[in-house]
Amino acid sequence: MFEKFRSYLRVTSPDPEDARRRNLLNIIVVGSFASSVIGILILGFGLIAKQWTFSQASFLLFFFVIFICLVLIIFFINRQWGNAAAYIFLAILTVGYAFSDTAANISNGSSVFFFAFAIVLASLLIHPLMSFAIAAIGCGIIAWANNLAAPGTSPNFVVMIGFFMLALVSWLASRSLVQALKDLRGINANLDHLVQERTQELANSLTRERIEAGRSHAILESIADGVIVFDVNGSAIIANPSSTRLLDLPNEKLVGASVDDLSQSAPLDAEGRNVLTGLLTKPGEQPNNAHIAWGKKTLSVTSALVNDSEKANIGTVAVFRDYTQEAEVERMKDTFLAIVSHELRTPLNAILGYAEMIKEAIYGPVNEKQVRASDRIMTNSHRLLDIVSDLLDQGQMEAGKLALHVRPFRPADLIENVHGVMDKIAEDKSLALTSELDPAMPKFIHGDIARLQQILVNLINNAVKFTEKGSIHMSLKSKDAQTWLLEVNDTGIGIPEEEISTIFEAFRQVDSTATRKYGGFGLGLSIVKQLTELMQGHVFVTSKLGEGSCFTVSLPMVMAEQGEH
Amino acid sequence: MNDMPMISELAMVVEDDEDLAAIFTEALRKANYQVETVRDGLSAQRRIIQIEPHLVVLDMHIPYVSGGEILQQIRADVRLKRTTVVIATADARMGEMYTDIADFVLIKPITFTQLRDLVNRLHRI
């Protein structure tokens, strides 16, 4: 009720300065209304108590009623139209009052002070400068009243100067009030703006965070890889849907589970259990991408520590990927290689055998041409067998399954064996194959003679392939007490410098058109490099275009006693 | 050829591939053996208890019973303690496994002359 009354008295305006002035006028108007009502009541009491006669009171009563009516009119004008009410109010105060007292009182007596009220209110209600206008009007009225009361005398200049002094003070006070309020409103508005800005920023960053979190969550929910996050105490706090699908364990069994719980409830063998526990408890220490047989599946498991922005460890994340198909492909590849090994070698073996039997005249006498033809069949069968062996070796080395059979052997035997295999091939191309055994080489050393022979055969095959005329020279040298060298020199076409770094890659030949011209898969040098590395050695090459190449294999020297053989 | 024994001894070839069996058999005959050829593990198992070969050329990948089992059976049989076993396999890793039990391990391809010359030398042991 009181609130409603207060809000009825309040005037609203888009201009805050206008609103302030009109509210001030409202307060004055309400005050005037109240004081008029009190005045009427006092008059009423005076009449009842017979202090005054009705004729004495009638003038004042009439004045109060008129005043109340005017005040109400001003109140409604103030509410509806604004500033006009302030002008009317001041006009009533100044002009109206000029007729309410005797001319003598107005010009020089007790009513002079009344204008001070109007001057101050004018600066507050209309405009700071308005105080001077009212002061001037006041001066005019008292001059006019003086002329009526005492014609010929000079008006009260002291009062007039006083009016203007008061107007000056009012103007200054009111102006600084307006300015102060304006500043305050400016500060408030600025503050509001700042608060609004900050609120918007906060809302934006919260929204962003929610979007980010939502996005991460969506990714985690939809990726095919199983992701489980463990806290620092080693219990699972997050397990995405893929993890429950891949691990064949319900989400309730995963979330909250410890590493031990997980490895116990998983369909694993003892080794798989060890690998999994190692990966989850000591991430980074175990080789990642471990393949674990998980029931009927094979899973590839990776783990990593989760660190916060201060680099403090807050847990471990494990990623599980279905590796079943890849594992199956690897297994099939192994089976395929084993089958190829057997199924290709067997018929080739038969071809070799029959060709040899024809040559050996098992099936009756043969002429020289037939012997040569048998030789060609045998040479080509051997070439085919070598290619098959190279492919199988390459496959085995890529899978890391090729093992060396290290025994004591005589370096002289190695040279002799290589001559046995390669002399014919060099001779077919009219190339001289020469060899040299460093006298400083021990009589016996440790090594896999078959694989060393393969290295030399591959290097010489390569040399023969790329040499049109001249010679090929192999040598076994003792470099120092720890190292021995296998060297193959040729007088072939040489290798461009920019190609030297790539010639040891599988399935590569210097010129891709060379594959057709020179034949072969380009596997020989790749096998040389891989075998050398398997033997803890190095292979390097020096070459000059058009002059020839020199391949050097350096190997660790392990001497052997003759008796071990 | 002069130092070869007058009575040819018995040799057995266990090889499932028809052509290789023929080649091995021919090589052994040329080395003056009387040769009996079987093409699978079961036949080899049955036959080995009836005869007493001086030499067995044994393939590892054969049907029904593996070459490894035949080898174990020969080594477990006192009757056959003088029998020389030559393993013929394409699988170098498998050959490696039997170097201690077999007398010789040959990795395929095994040529006619290679086998003939090897078994020729065996007569002198």
Which of the four pLDDT bands, split at 50, 70 and 90, describes residue B53? Answer: very high
Grade residue A435 by pLDDT with cuts at 50, 70 and 90: very high
Q: A434: closest CA among A487, A392, A400, A475? A: A475
Question: Residue for token digits 């000079």?
Answer: A154
Mean pLDDT of A79-96: 81
Is the CB of B112 less than 8 angstroms away from the CB of A348? no
Please judge whether B19 and A385 are an interchain contact, meaning their C-beta atoms are less than 8 angstroms apart: no
Paired with B85 in beta bridges are: B56
User: How far does the CA of residue B78 sit from the closest CA of chain A (Å)?
Assistant: 30
Task: Flag if A353 and B23 touch (Cβ within 8 Å).
Answer: yes
Q: Which chain A positions have a beta carbon within 8 Å of B111's beta carbon?
A: 352-353, 356
The answer as to whether B102 is a domain residue is yes
3-class DSSP assignment, residue A195: helix
The pLDDT value given to residue A564: 45
CB contact (8 A) between residue A338 and residue B17:
no
Q: Which pLDDT score is estimated for A565?
A: 41
Mean pLDDT of chain B: 88
In order, the DSSP letters of A76-133 are HHHHHT-THHHHHHHHIIIIIHHTSS-HHHHHHSGGGGHHHHHHHHHHHHT-TTHHHH
Compute the nearest-CA separation of A335 from chain B (Å): 13
Q: What is the mean pLDDT of residues A371-382?
A: 88
Tokens of A525: 């040098």
Q: What does the pLDDT average to over A486-502?
A: 87
pLDDT confidence bin for A510, thresholds 50/70/90: very low
Nearest to B17 among A346, A360, A385 (CB): A346
CA distance A318 to A262: 12
Query: What was the pLDDT predicted at A509?
Result: 52
Residue B30: list chain A partners with CB under 8 A.
362
B15 in any annotated domain: yes
Torsion (CA) A393, A394, A398, A404 in degrees, nearest 10: 30
pLDDT at A519: 53
Amino acid (1-letter code) at residue A144? W
Residue B1 counted as domain residue: no
CA distances from A471 to A116, A312, A412, A546, A550 (A): 132, 67, 21, 14, 12
> Considering only CB atoms, which chain B residues are within 8 Å of A352?
109, 111-112
The per-residue pLDDT for range B10-46, each reduced to its tens digit, is: 999 999 999 999 999 999 999 999 999 999 999 999 9
> What is the pLDDT averaged over residues B99-116?
88
Q: How far is B19 from chain A (nearest CA, A)?
A: 6
Spatial distance between the Cα atoms of A12 and A199, rounded to a whole number of angstroms:
28
Percent above pLDDT 70 for chain A = 96
ipTM given for this complex: 0.84
- Look at chain B and report how many structural domains it folds into: 1
B2 has a pLDDT exceeding 50: no
Nearest-CB residue to B109 (from A348, A403, A405) = A348
The B-side interface with A (CB below 8 A) comprises 17, 19-20, 23, 26, 30, 61, 90-91, 93, 96, 108-113
In this model, does residue A501 exceed pLDDT 90?
Answer: no
Q: In chain A, which residues have their Cβ closer than 8 Å to the Cβ of B96?
A: 405
Residue contact B108–A349, C-beta within 8 A: yes
Q: Which residue has the higher pLDDT, A516 or A368?
A: A368
| Residue written as token pair 């006498």 | A365
pLDDT tens by residue, A98-154: 777 777 777 777 777 778 888 888 888 888 888 899 889 888 888 888 888 888 888
Residue among A335, A342, A386 with most chain B CBs within 10 A, to mutate: A342
| CA–CA gap between residue A22 and residue A29 (Å, rounded) | 10
Across residues A58-86, what is the average pLDDT? 84
Report pLDDT for B1.
Answer: 45
Q: What is the pLDDT of residue B21?
A: 94
Q: Which long-range contacts (CB under 8 A, 24 or more apart) does A483-486 make?
A: A483/A554, A483/A555, A483/A556, A483/A557, A484/A441, A484/A445, A484/A554, A484/A555, A484/A557, A485/A552, A485/A553, A485/A554, A485/A555, A486/A452, A486/A455, A486/A456, A486/A459, A486/A552, A486/A553, A486/A555
Six token digits for residue A323:
């590796």
- For A224-322, CATH gives 3.30.450.20
- CB-CB contact of A453 with A431 (8 Å): no
Tokens standing for residue A240: 């995405």
Whether B4 is in a domain gets the answer no
**Residue A248, pLDDT score:** 86
Q: A384 to chain B: nearest residue by CA?
A: B109
Six token digits for residue A127: 């405009």
Distance (Å) of CA A120 to CA A32, A77, A182, A211, A281: 16, 22, 20, 61, 86
The rounded distance, in Å, linking the Cα atoms of A52 and B122 is 168
Is B23 close to A385, i.e. CB distance below 8 A? no
Confidence of residue A374 (pLDDT cuts 50, 70, 90): very high
A342, A350, A360 member nearest B19 (Cβ) = A350
Tens of pLDDT, residue by residue over A154-187, are 888 888 898 899 999 999 998 898 889 889 988 9
Chain A residues close to B26, C-beta within 8 Å: 357, 362
| Residue-wise pLDDT tens digits, A23-50 | 888 888 888 889 888 988 888 888 888 8
- Provide the β-strand partners of residue A373: none
| Rounded average pLDDT over A301-320 | 86
pLDDT digits (tens, 9 = 90+) for A243-255: 888 888 888 888 8
pLDDT-derived band at B47 (thresholds 50, 70, 90) equals: very high
**Does some domain include residue B3?**
no
Q: Distance of alpha carbon A40 from its chain centroid, rounded?
A: 81
Of A17-26, A207-216, A279-288, B99-108, where does mean pLDDT reach its minimum?
A279-288
CB contacts, 8 Å: A403 with chain B: 93
Q: Has residue B93 been placed in a domain?
A: yes
Q: Tell me the whole-structure pTM to 2 decimals.
A: 0.49
pLDDT beyond 60 at B4: no
Question: H helices then E strands: how many in chain A?
Answer: 19, 12
**Separation CA A26–CA A340 (nearest Å):** 109
Domain CATH code at residue B59: 3.40.50.2300
Encoded tokens for A292:
């674990």
Contacts of A38-47 spanning 24+ positions with Cβ under 8 A: A39/A64, A40/A64, A40/A65, A40/A68
Residue B101 domain boundaries: 9-122
For B96, nearest residue in chain A (alpha carbons)? A405
Q: Please indicate if any CB of chain B lies within 8 Å of the CB of A399.
A: no
Output the pLDDT for position A141.
Answer: 86
pLDDT for the residue A562: 59
pLDDT digits (tens, 9 = 90+) for A516-532: 455 555 688 888 998 99
- Virtual torsion, Cα A263, A266, A268, A274, nearest 10 deg: -10
Domain boundaries, chain A: 2-190, 224-322, 328-397, 404-564
Assigned CATH for A404-564? 3.30.565.10
The per-residue pLDDT for A305 is: 87
Q: pLDDT over 90 for what percent of chain B?
A: 61
Mean pLDDT of chain A: 85
d(CA A365, CA A179): 133
- Cis status of the peptide bond prior to B109, with omega within 30 of 0: yes
The full length of chain A comes to 565
Q: What pLDDT does A512 receive?
A: 53
Higher pLDDT, A2 or A554: A554
| Contact map slice: A 320-359 vs B, CB within 8 A | 338, 341-342, 345-350, 352-354, 356-357
